[in-house]
Amino acid sequence: MKIPSSMDRAVARESRIPTQAGRVSGSTLTKKKKMWRILAGACFAIALLGVFAQPLLALINYAAGSDLYSYILLIPFVSAYLLYLRRNQLPKDYVVDRPLAMAFLAAGFGVLAFRYWLHFVGQSPAKADDLALETVSFLCILAAGGFFFLGRVWMQAAAFPLAYLIFMVPNAGCNGRGAGDRLKICLRGSGKCSFPRHSHAFSSRGSYFPTA
């Protein structure tokens, strides 16, 4: 039986040191890269909030003055709370998904360009419609940043809390405070819903006609 000499043990120890050092440096580099992605994504979100500050403040004021849309003020907090509950289920590896990031970015700028085009041709939408277009554009660009900085796997894991943000978009089909008041009357179980005198009724064939 051959007993390893002290020289052999020293050589083996020296050969293990570079390997361990390489693992430590690689792990440190990976952690720094992940931290850079998180910080860059946070900076992107802050910058996006600054760019859309005016329409978002307009949305807040509009929701605060409407009984029907007042729930919009709670949506970001509910979404953040749901995301907090899933914090341990979110993946820690972030891989860039450029195709989806570019798709959502193009969709966001497309919606914004469509809004400006409507104003340019003199077909300015109603207040709720205008805020809806700006909010959809904001959410699309925010999703683009998520796919770019955090990746598809992370976005899939956080799909439900993030998708909840779609309720920030005002429903253009509703009619502000008046519709909210009528909805409250219906929900109270009074059996009578007040509508304007010249409303519309639907026939069995799907067409509608004004009622007296």
Cβ distance 50 to 146 under 8 Å? Answer: no
Q: Is the pLDDT of residue 210 over 80?
A: no
Taken in order 179, 180, 183, 184, the sign of the CA dihedral is negative
Task: Quote the CA–CA distance of 86 and 82 in Å, as a whole number.
Answer: 7
Give the torsion through C-alpha atoms of 98, 103, 104, 110, to 10 deg.
Answer: 140
pLDDT of residue 186: 39
Mean pLDDT over residues 53-81, rounded? 93
For the chain, the domains span 20-192
Task: Return the closest-CA partner of residue 126 out of 167, 169, 175, 165.
Answer: 175
Indicate the pLDDT class of residue 52, thresholds 50, 70 and 90. Answer: very high
Cβ distance 96 to 168 under 8 Å? Answer: no
> What three-state secondary structure class fits 201?
strand
Any long-range contacts for 71-76 (C-beta under 8 Å, 24+ apart)?
Answer: 71/167, 72/167, 72/168, 72/170, 75/164, 75/165, 75/167, 75/168, 76/165, 76/168
pLDDT of residue 28: 59
Residue with the two structure tokens 């007296």:
212
Indicate the pLDDT class of residue 55, thresholds 50, 70 and 90. Answer: very high
Cα separation values, 160 from 70, 90, 108, 164, 179, Å = 22, 12, 20, 6, 28
Tokens of 8: 């052999």
Residue 118's CB: how many other CB atoms inside 10 A? 15
pLDDT in tens, 1-18: 555 555 555 545 555 554
Q: Which helix (H) or strand (E) segment is 131 a member of?
A: helix 127-149
pLDDT of residue 36: 84
pLDDT of residue 8: 55
pTM for this structure? Answer: 0.67
